[in-house]
Amino acid sequence: MASTISSTERTAEYLGSRTLDHLRIVSAGAFLGLFIVVWIWIAVKLLRFSPTPLHPQLELGAAFTSVSGVVSGAVGATTAAALGINVQQTMKKNASDGSKSLTEAAKTPTNSPLIVVGVFSYLAVGLLLVAVWLAKGNGAPEVVQSFSVGALGWLAGAFAAVFAPSDPSSQG
């Protein structure tokens, strides 16, 4: 005989799962906000920086450099995965069950507004930092140069994903 759960227990289970979903969204949004604030702060600081013979390059503290590197790497990798940029090969779970390939799954659109905001944020912040790096040249710290090159790579991946050949067997 199957056990039945009461409507109160089902409601509590539903609310618990919804609460976790909201906590995930709030946490992801806070992390994305941290990424935006940190990198815009660096861009503004670099734009205001005037190199001198004693300080030819903007100096950021070790902790700030570490935090900026972690948030840029995480947001860049996550948004790249959301766009399907990092998918290099097609993998089938089981050829007989007709499951989607990893590439197809990665290219399936999502309804999450946070993903859209994340992609546009990485795009905008990346372009901003590339422009600031080009404007300030050697005055930019290595973390800005590194992020700018990574953002350009991310853009190149997005560009390449648009022109990727489609699998003829997936077309009806």
- DSSP calls for 98-122: TPPPHHHHHHS----HHHHHHHHHH
Q: Name which of 18, 122, 120 is nearest 77 in CA terms.
A: 122
Q: Concatenate the DSSP letters of all residues of 139-154 into one string.
A: GS-HHHHHHHHHHHHH
CB atoms within 10 A of CB 1: 3
Ranges of each domain in the chain: 10-45+62-163
Coil, strand or helix at 19: helix
Q: Most confidently modeled of 8-22, 121-135, 152-166?
A: 121-135
Q: Name which of 41, 47, 52 is nearest 135 in CA terms.
A: 47
Res. 101: pLDDT tops 70: no
Confidence of residue 22 (pLDDT cuts 50, 70, 90): confident
Residues 6+ apart with CB under 8 A from 145: 133
> Angle at CA 143, nearest 5°, toward 60 and 46?
55
136: tokens are 């300030």
Confidence (pLDDT) at 96: 43
Q: Are 75 and 118 in contact (CB under 8 A)?
A: yes
